[in-house]
Amino acid sequence: MTKLIVTICLAVLLTGAALVVGGRQVAPGVTQKGNSIQNAITSTTVNGATGAVTFTAP
């Protein structure tokens, strides 16, 4: 029974550590891409007379 509890605690600890490390490596790239998309969307303009669309590509 003790081995089972230790195994479960170790698995939870390792899973948490993996999520923390993964989040540190993935989050900056996701944030940067999100900001690029946000800038492209907010800088988009449409000419009502001609229908021409201008935007900034990320």
Q: Out of 1-5, 7-11, 14-18, pick the least confident.
A: 14-18
Question: Residue 43's pLDDT is what?
Answer: 72
Question: Residue 32's pLDDT is what?
Answer: 63
Q: Smallest Cα–Cα separation from 13: which of 25, 5, 1? A: 5
Question: Residue 49's pLDDT is what?
Answer: 86
pTM for the whole structure? 0.40
Instruction: Give the tens place of pLDDT for each residue, 19-57.
Output: 777 666 655 555 566 666 666 666 778 888 888 888 766
Question: Residue 38's pLDDT is what?
Answer: 67
